Amino acid sequence: MTTVEPPSWQSLRAAEARLINTGVPGVSVGNAVFESIVTGLRESLLRLAAPQQAQALGVPPVVSRGLLERVGYIDGFPNLVGTVYSFTGSGADWNRLQEARAATDAAWYQEQQISEVALLPATCHHIYPLFEGVDLPGPAVLTAEAHCYRHEGTHELGRLRSFRMREFVRIAAPDDCIRWRDDWMEQQRAWLTSLGLETSVEPASDPFFGSAARLMKATQREQELKFELRVPVGDGLVQAVASCNYHKEHFGEPFGIRVAGEPAHSACAAFGLERIVLALIAAHGDIPADWPQHVRSVLSLDDAGVA
Ligand code: ATP
Ligand code: ZN
Ligand code: MG
């Protein structure tokens, strides 16, 4: 078992990697051993991508709500968005609400107003607006990692609401983006295999919502825009631990990005860090000290002093 309920402080110091459920479905805390594997994964990925000389950015877990509207995320995935609301009244307004709460069953949040930020659904959303109106002299490669939020409808093992996504993004000409995406697909497969994970690469579509979903999913598959690297993560489940995506002009166009005078296309390679740890646990057990030496060395677990 990799999840324990209720949270227990003993598991924080365990030799086993644990993803501790907080009591809120899909919201979990990794213990120290779990986190040492996340660190190993991050560093291994950055070594793998080192030849690309990606610019590493630090991005927050919230993003402009207007941005999600602009890139069509709200139209495609209204069910997954976590929107930030806040109390914007005066002290006197709050006092009135407190009195109402004392007299009735008024809720403390009933006067909350939607704010201009939402929780970040995918790390790469922060990257494209940085290039708004820019004509790049050549391809740009960037990397970032963030806690992402998706208001998932189910909460089986591996389907978290809050999870970390490391992404590599390329903004370039169409052919260049496709080539880069396809190279990443091979590298992702080889890297996951080097971690002893049984990996299949499959054409995929995003979980579009509502009446347009069927058409959007079919178009995405037809045009081979998204591929997933699927791996067993435990409990008999096989999930995408990584994906690689070609967006065409989806992001370049709304931000007016150009590369050498031509409209920019973009592509991204994404890695779900918690899911990869779960897959490692499913493949090798929950005590990293007992994992095959070649897996430990890909993750530099010996250097990190993980017992
Ligand atoms: P899924 O098909 O499982 O819903 P997705 O196709 O929506 O995932 P992407 O948008 O490609 O996922 O996100 C990149 C990566 O982030 C995924 O390959 C996965 O490893 C991770 N990820 C996505 N959603 C979740 C989640 N709810 N919990 C944990 N990891 C996730
Ligand atoms: Zn992305
Ligand atoms: Mg998917």
Going from the Cα of 124 to the center of ligand 1, the distance in angstroms, rounded, reads: 13
Q: How far apart are the first and last CA of the chain?
A: 20
CA distance 241 to 239: 6
pLDDT reported for residue 8: 63
Q: What share of the chain is helix, strand, coil (3-state, %, to 5)?
A: 35, 30, 35
Going from the Cα of 110 to the center of ligand 1, the distance in angstroms, rounded, reads: 32
pTM: 0.95
Going from the Cα of 238 to the center of ligand 3, the distance in angstroms, rounded, reads: 11
Q: Report helix angle 273-284 to 32-48, nearest 10.
A: 110
Nearest to 166, CA basis, from 71, 275, 68: 275
Nearest-CA residue for atom 6 of ligand 1 = 206
pLDDT reported for residue 12: 75
- Domains of the chain, residue spans: 7-64+121-298
pLDDT reported for residue 297: 97
Name the residue of 163, 221, 235, 245 whose CB sits within 8 Å of the most ligand 1 atoms, as the mutation to test its pocket. 163
Nearest to 223, CA basis, from 201, 204, 242, 240: 204
pLDDT reported for residue 14: 79
Q: Report mean pLDDT in 10-residue bins for the chain, 307 residues.
A: 58 86 95 96 98 98 98 97 97 95 92 98 98 98 98 97 98 98 98 98 94 92 96 97 98 98 98 98 97 98 71
Tally of CA atoms within 13 A in the half-sphere of 128 that contains its CB:
28
Tell me the backbone φ, ψ of residue 240, rounded to 5 degrees: -75, 120
pLDDT reported for residue 212: 87
3-class secondary structure, 114: strand
Nearest to 140, CA basis, from 148, 131, 149: 131
CB 204 within 8 A of CB 228: yes
Nearest-CA residue for atom 30 of ligand 1 = 272
Which class is 7-64+121-298 in CATH? alpha beta
Distances (CA, A) of 186 to 64, 172, 229, 279: 33, 20, 10, 19
Residue type, 136: L
ipTM higher than threshold 0.95: yes
Of ligand 1's listed atoms, the one at least distance from the Cα of 229 is 18
Q: Which residues contact 135 (CB under 8 A, 6 or more apart)?
A: 258, 259, 260, 261
Residue type, 249: E
What is the residue whose two structure tokens read 């890297």?
191
